[in-house]
Each structure stands twice: as C-alpha cells, then as structure tokens.
A and B are shown apart, each in its own frame.
Chain A
Amino acid sequence: MPLQNLQTKPQNQLNNSDASDERVENPATIPYGARAMALLGGNVSPIQRRNIVQQVARTVGNRQVQRLLSSIKSGGTGGLKMGVSPEELGQATVGYGGVSQALEREEGACGCGASCNCSGEKGEDTTIPTLESAGVEGLGGIVSSATIERTIGDGHDLASPRFSGDPQLEAAFDNERMVRQGQNGEHVRKIQQALVDLGFQLPQFGVDGDFGRETKRAVKSFQRNSQLLGRDGDGVIGPVTMENMDNRFGAAAPAPAPNVTVTENVTDGPHHLPAGEFLWQIGWNTTGRNGFIVQEINNVYNAQNCNGSANNQVVQTPRYWEAWRVNAAGQVTPNLGAVNDIWSRVRRPGLKGNWTMNANVFFVNNLEPAANFTAGGVRDAGDLQATTTQPGNLGTSLLTRHAGGIWDNCGENDTHDPA
C-alpha cells in the first residue's frame, strides 16, 4: 500500500495485516516506519537514505525505533541498506535527536560541511530536507514529502494548549522546519507571546508577529535561561528549544519539588489604624527557584453609614491571583526594597464595617497562559502580574495568610480591631 494512503487514513484504521505490523505493539505508528525502512532497499543515495532514516526515526519515536530495530534485526526489513548499522541507530535513540547525531558522525557533519545545518538550530538554511526536497526519485513517486514528514497527531506533538496543533511550531518540534529571524505570522506571534509571558521582554516591538532582531535576542535569552548552549542557543527555534518552551507551558511541565517552601518575612505591621485603615508589608522567602510565587487573594469588605445603610463606595476585586517571579538565585521580583507584598485598606472615617483578606500562596514553574496573568491586570494587585481567572496549575497551597478588621468610626466611637 502506498505510504501516502497510509498517512491519510485515520491511524486507528491502519491495515494491521502486514507481517511487519504483527511484530510490534503499536500498529498505528510502527507500520508506517517499517514500510519506509523497507523502501530504503530501493535505489536511493546515501544522503537520501539518511534523510529517510531521520524522518522515520522521528516519526516512530525513540522507544518505537528500538522495537523496530529489533524487528529489523530479525529480518523484517526486506533488505535494508543504510549508511549506519541498526546497532548504531539503536545507540542513537537514547535522546531525542540522537539519530541525527549518529548520522552526522557517520557521514561527516551530515555531509554538508563544517557549518552543518542539517540538525536544525544553526546556520542560514536549517530546513531538514524532506524526501521531496531531497529528490527521492528512486522511490518512483510513491513517497512524497507529505507522506514522510511527521504530522500532528502522530504521537510526537506539542503538549501545551498555546502551541499544540500549530503546523509551523509542530514542524519545528519535529525538526522539519525552524522558526527563525525573517519569518512572520501567527506562529511567530505565539512564540513572542510565550517569551513575554515567561518574562523575556520585547520592549520595542512587542508581540507583532514579526521575527526580528528583538525576538531573536529574546529567544537567545530564553535559551540561556534554559541552559541551552552552543547550537541550541543561537536564537533559532528548533526541536530542542521548542520542546523546552512547550514544557514551560504544557502538561509536561515538571511539578514543583515537593519540598518547596514559601514564607513571609514581615517588614512592617500589621497595623490596624483608625477608621478602618490597615497596612501590612512583607517580603517573600522561598526555596523554589526559576518559577513564580502565586498568591490567591479573597477579599470581603462591608461598610455601613452610621445610620446603618450600606455604603458601597469602596469596590474591591473579590478574588484574584497575583504573581512574583523567582529567579535561579531565589530573588523574588518585583519588589520595593525588601518588600514584595503590601496589604492596605483605605481610611473610611464616618463609617463602620468589617473586612477580611484571606490568601493562599503557591509556587509554580510557570504562569498558566490560559489564566492570562497581566501586569496591572487587576488594580487591587497594583503593578503585579495578576488575573481574575483561576489558574489550573497551582497545586497545594504552601502558605495561608489572613488579615481582617472590624471598625467603628461613628459618633464618639473610634475603634478598629483585628478580626
């Protein structure tokens, strides 16, 4: 069956009757790779073979490659002729991209000179040749680029909601096409928004959908921040950078270490002042690193005129979430001096009432994009990144905080007591 036909069928309808299918656990992916491997027995050049192997290896995934190789060793290829041995290919499946590296070793910097572009994230032309672009005439037109390139839903997909399903970004993740300076479009906009959300600023041009120098600098900063060095840190987004960025936002993001602690360091207060005025200033201490402290605030505020009627002059956001960045050294920002968080209630003379502020404090590795944290987004939070949309990745509260008061400033009364 032609490969393109296999590709266009839903995976759960793939023909399981071939002999090669019976030797693997996942018939949805392995037959595709196995057939492509078998086609390598045709009349193709070493570079074409290398490209085919690269594509196939990426398609079936590392674990499946190993299973596939077992089947090849037992004679399932139908006459496989490759530039690398199955054993070497098997060793190269330890990490993602290992196949490519193994092939580079075999062919001498991928056969394209010292400034190798074949593996992705460096140089001017970082596009991995597809079978079509590599000119695989030897396959007699059976295999087109569309049949060998990985597809969305092939099991090797971006996990985060903001990236998942974007063809350009999935292609970068699959090492098929890089995202780089000079490009523009929605996929660039998504990358730019992700950079901003992660704290890598685009001060001049912002999120404009154009991958210019400013975006490249921000990508480099992200790569440095992610400990991506060498060719992985050149400002071009290939599979390694894409995977790292996806992990920051996706389900694959690592959970915070179970022993992370967040504590408050009170620098002033709490002061219960006359007429309902209140002030409390604290700084954060945390053992967490490279993440965010998120505080959920629940406000209650009830004011009455002295005749007992309701006074609704003070309006507060009843519930919101605000965030501080924690860097690798444990520094918490933003801050004003030693203070990260100030709770204050406005003075309201000639009134009486009660108020409470209850907070839960969390540590997360990233701010969930769907929650749309925005600097100044909630006025009660001042200049902090804040939202009224409950984030879904907060986990267990690491610290609870409370403040409250009952005040009476009517007639001769002048009391404000903690509550």
Chain B
Amino acid sequence: MDEKTALGLISRCSKWDGYTFDPLSHIQAVNLLQPLGKEQVLASLRAFWQKAEASNNRLDDSTRMVLLLRLLFVPKSPNQNFPTIRTGNPVVYPSLPEKEFPLFPLALVEAVPLLISPGFSLGGLPENPLNQIDFCEHNCVIRPAPLSPPDNPLPLAEKLLQNRSVNKDSQDLPAILQAQLLRLVSSVYPVAGENDFGFFSSLQKPAIWQKHVQAFSDLKAHWSSTQNDYQASV
C-alpha cells in the first residue's frame, strides 16, 4: 500500500461526532492498515498529521486520528490504558461513564466501535495527536487480528445499553448508537436521510427501530472479510 492510499484511509475515518460517526470507516481503516505493521502504520499517521496540522481541519483530523489509534493498537500491559484524550470537555452519558470504557470515547462491542460520547466542548487547544502516537509507539503493539464484526450488528446498541439506566440520559442516546449501526450496514441496507437531524427523532420511536432490525435481518447479510464490508446473501 502506498502512502497516498494509507493517508486516504485515515482521512475517511469518522471524527469525534456521535451524530455522524460511521463505524465502518474505522473498521476498514484498521483492517487495511494493520497488515502494514506497527512501524509503517505509525509513519503513515505521522505523515497524515504533518499535513493535517497546517489545515483548518486540524481539530476534526486530530480526533479521527486518536480514535483510530485506539482501535489499531493494544497496550502491551493489560493494566495499562490509553491516556485520556485532551481534546476538550467530553459529553458523557451517566449510563456510559468514561471510567468504564478504556477506549473512551469509543466502546468496542463485538469488534464494532461505537462512539459513546457525541462530542466535546473546547475553549483552548486540543492535544497534539503526536502525543498519543508516541504512547502507542512505546507502550503498544499493533492489533493482532483484524476487526470482524458480527453478521447482524444492529442488536449491539441494545447489548451496550443493557442493564444500564438509560432513562437518566437524554432520550437521544439509543438513537445515536442505532444510527451509527445503520451506517455500518449502509452498503447493504441504506436508509435515506441517515445524516439528517430528524433521523434521530424517528429512531427514538421503538417501533421504527424494530422495523429496521427486522428488515436487515431479513436480508441475511454477512460480514465479508475479503470485501471488508457487509454483503447481502444473494
């Protein structure tokens, strides 16, 4: 893989925005970059940031990088966690407390990354993502295996929220997670208007969400490791 392709993969990764986060972008980047090995991946990330830092997209680019790092690398020591991302003050749902999620603001549920914090407020300067890259270089190994999500990922939102007091939270939390899952399968189950704000309102109605779950299940789609995407059975 040439550098341009690698940088393209990184740039397509979703930024830290729960309302537009697409898990597929990160899964594909992880699975295509991981075989390059630790050194080349780190070099690609540094090359990406060298260009991104000078652009006005530096804030978005820094967050897409640090999210990807949490999926590409694994701390060598089981007792070690990634350092807190100093990008701003994150929105934290009480039912998904930061301390319970070592990859915060991500939760990795059956190989599917879900963004459990919709965003952050900043009045300062975000951490230079090179700090997180340096941490990975010295304290991590590259993920040993690709991410292989389940054939039907839509129930993962309920699984994540199971036994948690979601009622304490904003009503939009399940809808945010459900929309992320719908983006993951959008190649075989596209839903119009998934990035429209009204889309979240519709998902807040349980009956509508259940219709999506049933419809996707009827497709009998499966995850293709060769295509690095979902495929319909026929």
A interface, CB within 8 angstroms of B: 267-268, 274-275, 279, 281, 297, 299, 301, 311, 313-317, 322, 334-347, 349-350, 357, 359, 375-376, 378-384, 386, 409, 414
For chain B residues 182-213, which have a beta carbon within 8 Å of chain A?
197, 200-201
Contact A281 B119 (CB under 8 A): no
Contact B56 A267 (CB under 8 A): yes
- CA of A245 to CA of B121, assembled, Å: 36
28 interchain pairs, CB-CB under 8 A: A281-B56, A313-B93, A313-B170, A314-B121, A315-B89, A336-B53, A336-B58, A336-B62, A336-B128, A337-B54, A338-B54, A341-B123, A342-B122, A342-B123, A342-B124, A344-B120, A344-B122, A345-B121, A346-B118, A349-B197, A359-B123, A376-B84, A379-B90, A380-B123, A382-B88, A383-B86, A383-B127, A386-B124
For chain B residues 102-143, which have a beta carbon within 8 Å of chain A?
118-128, 131
Q: Is B160 engaged at the interface, CB distance under 8 Å to the other chain?
A: no
- CA of A374 to CA of B19, assembled, Å: 32
Contact B128 A334 (CB under 8 A): yes
Contact A341 B119 (CB under 8 A): no
For chain B residues 14-69, which have a beta carbon within 8 Å of chain A?
17, 19, 53-56, 58-59, 62
Contact B120 A346 (CB under 8 A): yes
Q: Which residue of B lies closest to A277 (CB)?
A: B119
A35 to chain B, nearest CB (A): 59
Partner of A339, one of B90, B120, B125, B169: B125
- CA of A313 to CA of B116, assembled, Å: 13
- CA of A345 to CA of B62, assembled, Å: 16
Closest 6 CB pairs of A and B: A381-B124, A346-B119, A349-B197, A383-B127, A379-B89, A382-B124
CB neighbours (8 Å) of B58 from chain A are 281, 336-337, 339
Contact A347 B118 (CB under 8 A): yes
Q: Which residue of A lies closest to B196 (CB)?
A: A349
A259 to chain B, nearest CB (A): 27
- CA of A314 to CA of B172, assembled, Å: 13
CB neighbours (8 Å) of A322 from chain B are 123-124
CB neighbours (8 Å) of A382 from chain B are 86-88, 122, 124-127
Q: Name which of B55, B89, B92 has the most chain A CB atoms within 10 A of its CB.
A: B89
CB neighbours (8 Å) of B201 from chain A are 350
Contact A349 B56 (CB under 8 A): no
Partner of A336, one of B88, B119, B126, B172: B126
CB neighbours (8 Å) of A386 from chain B are 124
- CA of A314 to CA of B93, assembled, Å: 9
- CA of A274 to CA of B17, assembled, Å: 13
Q: Is B232 engaged at the interface, CB distance under 8 Å to the other chain?
A: no
Q: Is B91 engaged at the interface, CB distance under 8 Å to the other chain?
A: yes
CB neighbours (8 Å) of A275 from chain B are 197
B221 to chain A, nearest CB (A): 28
B interface, CB within 8 angstroms of A: 17, 19, 53-56, 58-59, 62, 84, 86-93, 118-128, 131, 169-170, 172, 197, 200-201
CB neighbours (8 Å) of A336 from chain B are 53, 58, 62, 125-126, 128
B17 to chain A, nearest CB (A): 6
CB neighbours (8 Å) of A384 from chain B are 124-125
Partner of A337, one of B53, B92, B119: B53
- CA of A375 to CA of B201, assembled, Å: 39
- CA of A392 to CA of B46, assembled, Å: 40
Q: Name which of B58, B59, B125 has the most chain A CB atoms within 10 A of its CB.
A: B125
Q: Which residue of B lies closest to A384 (CB)?
A: B124
CB neighbours (8 Å) of A357 from chain B are 123
- CA of A335 to CA of B130, assembled, Å: 13
Partner of A379, one of B53, B54, B56, B86: B86
CB neighbours (8 Å) of B91 from chain A are 313-315, 346
CB neighbours (8 Å) of A341 from chain B are 123-125
- CA of A313 to CA of B96, assembled, Å: 12
Contact A347 B17 (CB under 8 A): yes
- CA of A344 to CA of B201, assembled, Å: 24
- CA of A335 to CA of B124, assembled, Å: 10
Contact B124 A414 (CB under 8 A): no
CB neighbours (8 Å) of A376 from chain B are 84, 86, 127
Partner of B19, one of A335, A345, A349: A349
CB neighbours (8 Å) of B172 from chain A are 349-350
- CA of A281 to CA of B123, assembled, Å: 10
- CA of A299 to CA of B197, assembled, Å: 26
CB neighbours (8 Å) of B119 from chain A are 346-347
- CA of A267 to CA of B53, assembled, Å: 13
In the complex, given contacts A357-B123, A383-B126, what are 9 additional A-B residue pairs having Cβ atoms less than 8 angstroms apart? A275-B197, A279-B59, A281-B58, A313-B169, A322-B123, A336-B58, A336-B128, A383-B86, A383-B124
Partner of A380, one of B19, B54, B88, B131: B88
Partner of A311, one of B87, B89, B90, B170: B170
Partner of A340, one of B84, B89, B125, B127: B125
- CA of A297 to CA of B197, assembled, Å: 30
Q: Which residue of B lies closest to A322 (CB)?
A: B124
CB neighbours (8 Å) of A375 from chain B are 86
- CA of A346 to CA of B105, assembled, Å: 14
- CA of A346 to CA of B62, assembled, Å: 16
Contact B89 A383 (CB under 8 A): no
A242 to chain B, nearest CB (A): 34
CB neighbours (8 Å) of A313 from chain B are 91, 93, 169-170
Contact A414 B86 (CB under 8 A): no
If A376-B84, A382-B126 touch, does A344 touch B59 (CB 8 Å cutoff)?
yes
If A279-B59, A311-B170 touch, does A383 touch B121 (CB 8 Å cutoff)?
no
Partner of A316, one of B19, B54, B89: B89
Q: Which residue of B lies closest to A315 (CB)?
A: B89
CB neighbours (8 Å) of B120 from chain A are 344, 346
Q: Name which of A345, A359, A375, A383 has the most chain B CB atoms within 10 A of its CB.
A: A383
- CA of A274 to CA of B90, assembled, Å: 19
